[in-house]
Amino acid sequence: MSTGEDGGDRSAPSGEASRRVVAVRYQEQEDHAPVVTAKGYGTLAERLLHRAAEAGVPVREDRFLVEVLSRLEVGTNIPPETYEAMAIILAEIYRLDRDAGDGGPAG
């Protein structure tokens, strides 16, 4: 899951909190590329972050990714220009899981 600040995004309704969140899933056996599974801003973003914390889902703050991914529809594969950034995030998640003794993300 990636979070970012709005920074004046005109697509967010006025009065909403500026935090934006995009959740992404990648299951090597099922997906050709990571897939946007949820997104939101304001109160919905806070609820998504809370659910991620409850489920132990890693969260990373990355304005570039949120800017790009928040424009995609849920269920859409991420665009190739974000693969490098996503690979860095996935490598960090795998490293954290390995260091925790899990051997890799469950999925």
Name the DSSP letter for residue 77. B
The pTM score is 0.68
Percent of the chain whose predicted confidence (pLDDT) is above 90: 31
CB 2 within 8 Å of CB 24: yes
How far apart are the C-alpha atoms of 45 and 73, rounded to whole Å? 16
**98 or 39, which is more confident?**
39
What are the residue boundaries of the structural domains of the chain, listed by start? 2-99
**Domain 2-99 class in CATH:** alpha beta
Tens digit of pLDDT for each residue in 51-74? 999 998 888 888 888 888 899 999
Please say whether the beta carbons of 36 and 30 come within 8 A.
Answer: no
- Structure confidence by residue, pLDDT tens digits, 93-104: 778 878 887 555
Task: Give CA–CA dist 1/3, Å, rounded.
Answer: 7
